[in-house]
Structure 1
């Protein structure tokens, strides 16, 4: 299929339904239903340069994020179709009530704008959810709710900073580093700015 030709409307509608079901089941924390939208679950978190691949890793990702944000929810802003993906812009929101990797709970809420690419293969199977967001936006909101004038608040802030520093040394997943430019046809090259 040409990169300039969208699939038929019935295919786009089926993709959209699958993506919206996936979102709904994630919020409901119905992990079996959420995972059933993939033949092989695969998440790529670009801000963190991490990959969660396979049922076990994705379930662990769900578990860890819902420990940190048990009320995690989203508000869809826009949904778009491409040749091989559904692109969803949304607000992710939640209250930080449990540890977020090495950051202790702050009790703060966040509302962060994100984009997720739900990528489909040639057989119309969902093969990847690739999520883009700004980690600093979340961290600023989580830390801003801490009472910096109280001893307990200062202790939480100190622990959060230590947790953040402990997370900075992780190597990016090499699967996210090995990219190839698209084939744009003869004589066409992507711009390198």
Structure 2
């Protein structure tokens, strides 16, 4: 059974983590983990270790320098804090191979902040719908304007290039738990 003290400590860590991400205080965010580890289920990618997570932060903040969130709900489980939130931002830089569109997005997400038996944060596992985000970024282009046609083609090419990779094995090679 998880105590109220444990719930409060976990919640404080998660809320500090969120605030530090918005402030782009990467050292503070990374200090919430003994070993930084992100799993992005929508893209089937894993960012493991300090360098890989910093690269992930850099890539997303180049694309969305004003990225921020609005928390909807926060829940506790035996081994996690689960946060539902809106992620928001404006696409002013490249997102991988997708050129900037200048459009804003607002996407509902869920993040599982998973803790081990020693109360260490061991993983942030994020679920979201990439189509909703891409629809807002690319679908917001005014296609009546011929100048946007080339940008739309470049965005489609970038999306296809980004979606061609192999999913991270740890996200597909899973074992069914024993429930009885």
TM-score, normalization by structure 2: 0.98
Q: What is the match of residue 35 of structure 1?
A: 30
Query: Highest CA radius of gyration, 1 or 2?
Result: 1
Q: 1:75 aligns with which of 58, 70, 79?
A: 70
Q: For 1:63 and 1:110, how far apart are their aligned partners in 2?
A: 18
Q: Is 1:52 aligned to residue 21 of structure 2? A: no
CA contact 1:107–1:145 (8 Å) conserved in 2? no
Q: For 2:172 and 2:17, how far apart are their aligned partners in 1?
A: 27
Q: What is the match of residue 132 of structure 2?
A: 137
How big is each residue's C-alpha offset from its partner over 1:47-90, in whole Å with a ceiling of 9 and x where there is no partner?
00000000000000000000000000000000000000000000
Q: For 2:179 and 2:160, how far apart are their aligned partners in 1?
A: 41
Q: 1:122 aligns with which of 117, 122, 141?
A: 117
Q: Give the root-mean-square deviation of aligned CA atoms.
A: 0.7
Q: For 1:54 and 1:168, how far apart are their aligned partners in 2?
A: 23
Q: Is 1:170 aligned to residue 168 of structure 2? A: no
| Alpha-carbon shift at residue 154 of structure 1 (Å) | 1.0
Q: Is 1:84 aligned to residue 79 of structure 2? A: yes
Q: For 1:81 and 1:149, how far apart are their aligned partners in 2?
A: 48
Q: For 2:175 and 2:114, how far apart are their aligned partners in 1?
A: 17
Q: What is the match of residue 12 of structure 2?
A: 17
Counting matched residue pairs gives 180
Structure 1 gaps of 5+ residues are 1-5, 186-193
Structure 2 gaps of 5+ residues are none
